[in-house]
Structure 1
């Protein structure tokens, strides 16, 4: 590997321009973004011009053939995560793939298997796990402050947050709606704090009530006539260790707050809400609420990219992200499958 990690970007949309590229550039002389690839040539060239990137391609196969690249960010619609990621891994690149891992469990399993076979890092864009609040709570949990975590609630809720841009309302390209887009963030955060216990049984219910009609929203007008996803999903997951998790996620729901991203954990020694972090315990015959002071010098997105670069340079990741991505993808599939058949699904 060269002194600078040579980075390629696959997909020149908003997540690449607003998150991945700026945070790679914050890594200074540890990296060099050498190329951006997008099937839309104008988008690739515009992105390259904006950030001073030398090479552009409309085919990532051509990019891998022509350039020496160490790692890539996959910033495409969900449907293309699997082919882009596996092609990059086979080309000898480490990969930071945006969430969710893929469209199906089989794809996520295939991605993890290729990464293992090639000895490459495969991380996913679950940036909330890199937040200062989650890191602090993880330390409290490791010290036994919450004890046995047996019940969890996870919320990724928007009152009227249907994206009016991109392909977010296209099931064929995205695989689903709020569950697979924002719900996965809080699902990963919850599982990460729980230590990724083995799931057992899943029950899910999805609703399509508000997105299929014209309305107002915080993210502009959406194409309600071609709205093919759910706008609300409820689910419950039980685990083989006896714990349970309730996940609620929406793009549109008649609720008070504009947006709620929250994980609440209940253990036999204490509980916690994560965003913002608050810890609930009983001590000395007294119920107490603790609000830790959080020092956050870097954003969760910056830390995600920094740790990906660290892992690439070290040749190993601190957590088995590829395998955890498989768990996430299987749970998403199980929730949608349960909603489809109207019954529980074994994990």
Structure 2
């Protein structure tokens, strides 16, 4: 089978750090075009608008959309309407409704839509899922705290309505939790901290449970300095499980069980190739639904202004 001719829309840091190396290493894909207001890729035909790219390069089979979520629906709609398979960076959109509409459009056009959750492909996630499925879980504590000035410097879109604020990294934790827990969870209470000069939260304290009243507590914070924390701790009948470093390392009762090199984005592109070849879609909205629930149910607390 010939490689899938791929285009990227939105050439920014995540594309250069993760997408381009993963595409280059995957023989199922061939990058043939980009569309971005500012970024280009050496040796690849570039455009500033997706509609110009789709018109000028009809050989495109699939499109990876890597712009901020507030602007993704329009681009995805154009690509799907043109009969292209679409890869959505996380979060898949600014609202649940627009992603549901894209899913319906993909189905009507007979093309694949992929809502990617890269943290689910962290190396120790499947081992954690297997462990939790083999024992009784008594509680879960999620600690996802990082320094926004380090990871998102001068990214104004992330503080705007629809940019999600601290949920931009926090949704990665939710993507893992919703994958590794045996039963569905739902939000019971939340406090969201908004800087007085921003439209998106800088911290969130969330409480969930499932049908068995399993308590799940999640703490998201963008004000962490020093060591960054991306950990999920579960107390179980078989002991304590710690899924650390964003899903990279698994320990059970203090014993290291899994620690492998990070392969998240290569795994995403392998999955995208699978669904394109199979003619299916993969659109799990559980992580985004929990974020929407937090905004709907959460108590707002205003804190001091944030400046980069």
2:274 pairs with 1:274? no
The equivalent of 2:173 in structure 1 is 186
User: In the aligned structure 2, how far is the partner of 1:137 from the partner of 1:201?
Assistant: 22
Counterpart contact for 2:187–2:290, Cα < 8 Å: no
1:1-347 map, 5 Å:
3-28=2-27, 30-38=28-36, 40=37, 43-44=38-39, 47-49=40-42, 52-53=43-44, 55-66=45-56, 67-142=58-133, 144=134, 147-159=135-147, 161=149, 163-172=152-161, 174=163, 176-179=164-167, 181-195=168-182, 197-209=183-195, 227-253=198-224, 257-275=226-244, 276-280=249-253, 289-296=254-261, 299-316=263-280, 321-322=282-283, 324-325=284-285, 327-340=286-299
User: In the aligned structure 1, how far is the partner of 2:149 from the partner of 2:233?
Assistant: 22
User: In the aligned structure 1, how far is the partner of 2:132 from the partner of 2:297?
Assistant: 32
Counterpart contact for 1:131–1:300, Cα < 8 Å: yes
Q: Deviations over 1:23-71 (max 9, x none)?
A: 101113x221111012x2xx24xx232xx21x22222123223322221
Counterpart contact for 1:108–1:329, Cα < 8 Å: no
Counterpart contact for 1:150–1:242, Cα < 8 Å: no
Specify whether residues 65 and 151 from structure 1 end up closer, same or farther in structure 2 by C-alpha distance, changes over 3 A only: farther
TM-score (norm 1): 0.76
SS of alignment partner, residue 87 of structure 1: helix
The structure with the greater share of residues assigned to strand is 2
User: In the aligned structure 1, how far is the partner of 2:289 from the partner of 2:226?
Assistant: 30
Specify whether residues 74 and 160 from structure 1 end up closer, same or farther in structure 2 by C-alpha distance, changes over 3 A only: closer
User: In the aligned structure 2, how far is the partner of 1:33 from the partner of 1:12?
Assistant: 13
TM-score (norm 2): 0.85
User: In the aligned structure 1, how far is the partner of 2:74 from the partner of 2:277?
Assistant: 24
User: In the aligned structure 2, how far is the partner of 1:241 from the partner of 1:109?
Assistant: 29
User: In the aligned structure 1, how far is the partner of 2:67 from the partner of 2:190?
Assistant: 27
Specify whether residues 61 and 202 from structure 1 end up closer, same or farther in structure 2 by C-alpha distance, changes over 3 A only: farther
Listed as ranges, the gaps of 5+ residues in structure 1 are 213-225, 281-288, 343-347
User: In the aligned structure 2, how far is the partner of 1:154 from the partner of 1:120?
Assistant: 36
The equivalent of 1:223 in structure 2 is none
Q: Deviations over 1:213-250 (max 9, x none)?
A: xxxxxxxxxxxxx5432211111122234333222111
Residue 74 of structure 1 and its aligned partner are, at CA, apart by 0.7
User: In the aligned structure 2, how far is the partner of 1:26 from the partner of 1:328?
Assistant: 28
Counterpart contact for 1:5–1:70, Cα < 8 Å: yes
Poorly superposed stretches of 4+, deviation over 6 Å: none
Q: Deviations over 1:149-174 (max 9, x none)?
A: 35322222025646222334431351
The structure with the greater share of residues assigned to helix is 1
Specify whether residues 309 and 336 from structure 1 end up closer, same or farther in structure 2 by C-alpha distance, changes over 3 A only: same
User: Alpha carbon RMSD of aligned pairs, Å?
Assistant: 2.5
Listed as ranges, the gaps of 5+ residues in structure 2 are 302-308
User: In the aligned structure 2, how far is the partner of 1:316 from the partner of 1:91?
Assistant: 17
